[in-house]
Chain A
Amino acid sequence: AQSVTQPDIHITVSEGASLELRCNYSYGATPYLFWYVQSPGQGLQLLLKYFSGDTLVQGIKGFEAEFKRSQSSFNLRKPSVHWSDAAEYFCAVGYGQNFVFGPGTRLSVLP
C-alpha cells in the first residue's frame, strides 16, 4: 500500500539556520511527489513538486527538495529559515486520482 512517513513530528530551528525536513514514501511505481505548507487555520499551499527529470527541485519561498529513488526519500531543504516559515509541512505522493499525505512536521522558528 502507498504510504508516506515524516519521521519528525516537530522541529525547532533558529531564524537564519538551515532546515531539512525528511520524507520517505512507499510506492510501487515512479512517484509524483509534493511538498505542501499549511499555516494555522489555513488550507494547503504547494511549495514544490517532482514528476520526472532533474532530481533537485526548486520551489517557492526559497525551498528545494531532492528526490532519491534509492532511499525512497524526498527531503525538503532551505538554507536560511525565516520566522514566517513557521507552519506545518506535509509531504505527499500523487496516487491515482488523489494524494496520500504524510502526518506532517510542525516547524517552529526561534528569533
Chain B
Amino acid sequence: ETGVTQSPTHLIKTRGQQVTLRCSSQSGHNTVSWYQQALGQGPQFIFQYYREEENGRGNFPPRFSGLQFPNYSSELNVNALELDDSALYLCASSRTGVRQNTEAFFGQGTRLTVV
C-alpha cells in the first residue's frame, strides 16, 4: 500500500450540490495531482498543486477547484454537481514539482455518485 490516503471512500450527492474530497500525500512528497476516472475509462488529469499553488490544469471547468495545505495535503472541491461528475476521483502524490511526475503514488480513490 502507498502512504496516500483519500477520504471519504464513497459519497453520494444530489445534482447541484457541492462536494469536497480530501487527500493526504505520502510522507516526503510535496506535489499532489487529482484525476477523474469515469467508469470504463482511463484517468483524466484535473489539476496539480505544488507549494500550495495550482501548477497545471487539465480540461476541466472552473467549478472544479482545489487547495493544498502547508502539510502538502489537498482538497478537491466541485461546485454545482452534474450527473456526469459521477466518477472515481484519484489523488496522486509525488516528490517532483515543476517537472514530469517521475514517480507518483496513487490513493485508493473516492467514488462519487451524483443523483
A residues engaging B (CB < 8 A)? 4, 32, 36, 41-46, 49, 51, 90, 92, 94-104
Contact = CB atoms under 8 A, between A and B. Distances in A.
A41 B104 CA distance: 19
Interface stretch (B14-22, B40-48, B61-69, B71-79): B40-48
Contacts of A49: 102-103
B56 A96 contact: yes
| Chain B interface size range | 20 to 34
Interface string B18-42: 0000000000000101010000111
A43 B50 CA distance: 21
A49 B104 CA distance: 11
Interface of B: 2, 4, 31, 33, 35, 40-45, 48, 50, 55-56, 58, 90, 92, 98-109, 111
A31 to B, nearest CB: 9
Nearest to B49: A97
